Structure 1
Amino acid sequence: MSGGEDISLSDKSDANEKFRKRILVTGGAGFIASHVVISLIEKYSDCLIIILDKLDYCASLKNLDCVTKRPNYKFIQGDICDSCFVRLLFKREKVDIVLHFAAQTHVDRSFWWSSKFHIVNVYGTYVLVKEAHEAGVERFIHVSTDEVYGDSINKEFDESSPLRPTNPYAASKAAAECVILSFWKRYKFPVIITRSSNVYGPQQYPEKVIPRFISLLQHGRKCCIHGSGLQARNFLYAADVTEAFLIVLEKGVPGEIYNIGTKFELSIIQLAKELIKLIKNISSHRDVENWLDFVPDRPYNDLRYPMNTEKLQKLGWRPKVSWKEGIRKTVDWYRENFHNWANSEKALDQFPPFTFEEN
């Protein structure tokens, strides 16, 4: 496949195959990946979508309930760090395309268990890309994060900006990118890297800031704010980031990196206040303040991750869902589905205070 050529998801030489493409989505029962899986299954009925997930604490097969009966759905439970298993998986499933979402992602947990983050995010990625290369996979999309850039007060990051991660999670993702790109440099193995802003929406485990704040407020508890709460994030709705991944899948150029982001930015203190007003239906400043609980900040907390997304926009992508629409849909979903995870109640009490990273 030549660089820049659109990949056809309906073109495979063996006409006797039931499915024309076989797409492996790692971490497919997790938050962002489950949205992508659902879209792939619905859009490409002639492709088999293979979901690989270890089913760790933050994953749930309930995220995929709406597609489990589809003929092009296949779920496999397994660990990307198990090299024998992964090798056998590629051999048996004859995978054409990989979308690699599986990762440990929570910043506070990365300080407690940095070795686990490096094992999963770096070694697991190495195992996956090595076996994919040896199996002749035609496209490998690696999902990374804006956090690899570190923070910036004014300057926007583009894809050529240096990587300056400031926590173990971000460092592990930056290292994983180095592993991925080494296969492009050495073998011209067709890899693509994406770096996305904070993503929110239905199906996200309530350890991350938006579902956590929503769940705390719905349980009559206060929002926990690190330091001043002036740290800001760009929030991107799940449906928009899903569309971005589909465009990268079809039109992305091997060896390239794509930022996926939005200009919409909100500080954590603003976020908390908006959710308090929306969920508790109150408007007075004093009443809103009563639902805030300020705690000491961690030693270093990135202020902003502004990204330039012109490169992806040239492929035809723009975010479409407004904040007002997206947050309303998200709040409504958690009213009915908070208990989709067996350990959802524990998420409100573990590792206080929680960080607010969404990727």
Structure 2
Amino acid sequence: MDFVQTVLVTGGAGFIGSHFVCSLVDRHPNWHIINLDNLDYCSNLKSLEAVEDRANYTFIRGDICNPRLVNHIFTTENINIVFHFAAQTHVETSFIWPSRYHLANVEGTRVLIKAAYQARVQKFVYISTDEVYGESLDKKFDETSPRRPNNPYSVSKAAAECLVFSYWEKHMFPVIITRSNNVYGPRQYLEKVIPKFVSLLQLNKKCTIQGTSPQSRHFLFVDDAIEAFHTILVKGVVGEIYNIGTDFEIPIIELARELITLVRRTPRSELDDWLEFVPDRPAVDLRYPVNCEKLQRLGWKPAVSWTEGIRRTVKWYKANPDFWPNINLEDIPINYDPKTSKHRGPVP
């Protein structure tokens, strides 16, 4: 079959990447969608069962840090577009092994963009994070705000951004960078706060609240994030950065209470009985508000309300308790103890 376009998605067996791969395969049957993923602990091929037998889909198991493999893919496939999702993303673990994050997020990006540049790819979209801005207690960050990352994960993403953008500045290589709020929804790995709290509650365990600072986060439903990437694919201007986010914001402690209500049906007077306060990690940003007017001018805006999105998410986790088999929630770091430089439980 002759394909009109070939799109390489890295990290396409991860949470957001798998949703995007499935949407590309469905929407563009005459495009070849190649998914490159090393199947790390937070990847799951079950996320791709809906498209695994489709004629326009190919899965390649491999590491973006492997230049022989990456160069082979670009020299044997006529790749037109790259969406680079692959990354180490768990903030707590980044304090323990920052070198692992530098390797995957910076060196992996260097290998990938070098190969893409040599292959004269038409568009290279790098998926970054709002955490590169650092925290703000009042002002919303726009795309011109300075980067002030405060943890090894966000430092590695900021460094990779600089690397990607250098190809635009030096070579006019057509890159686009996106920075999104926290994305949530079905199939997300259990280390992230919403699926972890839901899973703990399903096991009759308490939600673990880090520290006593009033942390809050903006949460964007995964379907809205996917629509943002499709908008950028079609209308995004090369050499630009786009924030992807929502005005909905909720304190983490209120998030826990809402999930307790949804999962356990607990009376409001007993909600706090399901909270457990644990030590904070060394550096915590209280909030990351972003201005998304630039992307909205391209025609995108969130369509799924928090009420609908969290209802659909909890419903999915209740219906799929075995999607992540053999996972011990105690194995996922819930805090980093600055006094002992140790974490609770082994790192996955």
Provide the TM-score with structure 1 as the length reference: 0.92
Report the CA distance between 1:229 and its aligned residue: 5.7
Report the Cα offset of residue 56 of structure 1. 0.2
Contact 2:220–2:246 (8 Å) recurs in 1: yes
Q: Pick one of 130, 134, 151 that aligns with 1:167.
A: 151
1:99 paired to 2:83:
yes
Amino acid at match of 1:82: N
Verify the 8 A CA contact 2:281 2:335 in the aligned structure 1: no
| Alignment-derived partner of residue 346 in structure 2 | none
Within the candidate set 42, 58, 73, 1:74 is matched to 58
Give distance in 1, aligned partners of 2:41 and 2:118.
31
Question: Given the alignment of the two structures, is residue 18 of structure 1 paired with residue 13 of structure 2, yes or no?
Answer: no
Partner residue, 1:315 = 298
What does the per-residue CA deviation read over 1:253-272, in whole Å, with 9 as the maximum and x for residues that have no partner?
A: 00000000000000100000
Deviation for aligned residue 1:335:
1.5
The aligned amino acid for 2:44 is S
Structure 2 gaps, min length 5: 337-342, 344-348
1:291 corresponds, among 267, 274, 293, to 274
In the alignment, structure 1 residue 350 sits paired with structure 2 residue 295: no
Q: How far does residue 230 in structure 1 lie from its aligned partner after superposition?
A: 1.9
Residue 337 (structure 1) aligned with residue 320 (structure 2): yes
Deviation at 1:348, TM superposition (A): 4.4
Q: Which amino acid aligns with 2:149?
A: P
Q: Which residue of 1 aligns with 2:340?
A: none
Q: Any conservation in 2 of the 1:59–1:341 contact (CA below 8 Å)?
A: no
Name the structure, 1 or 2, with higher relative contact order (CA <8 Å, separation 6+). Answer: 1
Q: Distance in 1 between matches of 2:239 and 2:323?
A: 37
Deviation track 1:103-136 (CA, whole Å, cap 9, x = no partner) reads: 0000011011100100110010000000000001
Aligned to 1:280: 264
Query: Cα RMSD between the aligned structures?
Result: 1.3
* Contact 1:224–1:353 (CA under 8 A) maintained in structure 2: no
What SS class does the counterpart of residue 322 from structure 2 fall into? helix
- For 2:22, give the aligned amino acid: I
Report Cα offsets for 1:51-73 as digits up to 9, x if no partner. 00000000000001111121111
- Contact kept, 8 Å, 2:5 with 2:80, in 1: the verdict is yes
Aligned to 2:46: 62
Please show how residues 233-244 of structure 1 align to structure 2 within 5 Å: 233-244=217-228
Q: Within 5 Å, which residues of 2 pair with 1:137-176?
A: 137-176=121-160
- TM-score, normalized by length of structure 2? 0.95
Range moving further from structure 2, 141-150 or 65-74:
65-74
Contact 2:130 2:288 in 1 (8 A): yes
Q: How many residues align?
A: 337
What stretches of structure 1 of length at least 5 have no aligned partner?
1-16
SS of the aligned residue for 1:56 comes to: coil
Task: Report the 3-state secondary structure (helix = DSSP H, G, I; strand = E; otherwise coil) of the residue aligned with 2:86.
Answer: coil
Cα offset for 1:154?
A: 0.2
Identity %: 56
